């Protein structure tokens, strides 16, 4: 299962790079949780959650409110360590079973 997730994260990172984003960190971990990909998109710090499921709707639904809170806490920790006041957003990168990727920018608020 982890190998499939790693493959999805690799594909998502490549997707972001093709869209012009710079990858800052992958699998950023702290006591609050993990962020799959941290990227920079035109001066905006992007905290991306990657989900691989059979279809996009299943993938999107799997990012629960509890997971969103953990991501927000980990993002706050990251930004504090970087002494960054840059604007940020939370994106979902959904990967289906065929390897297609859908990006949802501002998938959820930072709260």
Instruction: Report pLDDT digits (tens) over 3-37.
Output: 445 689 999 999 999 999 999 999 999 999 999 99
DSSP state of 54: S
Contact assessment for residue 36 and residue 15, using Cβ atoms and an 8 Å cutoff:
no
- Count of residues in the chain: 111
CATH architecture for residues 2-104? 3-Layer(aba) Sandwich (3.40)
How would you list the strands of the sheet with 101-104, edge to edge? 22-30, 33-41, 44-52, 88-95, 101-104
pTM of the model: 0.89
């Amino acid at each position: 299962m982890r190998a499939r997730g790693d493959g999805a994260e690799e594909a998502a990172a490549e997707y972001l790079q093709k869209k012009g984003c710079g990858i800052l960190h992958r699998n950023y971990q702290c006591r609050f949780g993990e962020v799959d990909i941290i990227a920079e998109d035109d001066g905006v710090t992007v905290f991306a959650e990657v989900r691989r499921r059979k279809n996009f709707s299943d993938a999107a639904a799997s990012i629960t409110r509890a997971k969103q809170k953990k991501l927000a806490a980990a993002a706050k920790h990251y930004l504090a360590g970087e002494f960054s006041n840059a604007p940020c957003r939370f994106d979902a990168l959904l990967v289906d079973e065929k390897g297609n990727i859908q990006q949802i920018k501002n998938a959820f608020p930072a709260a």
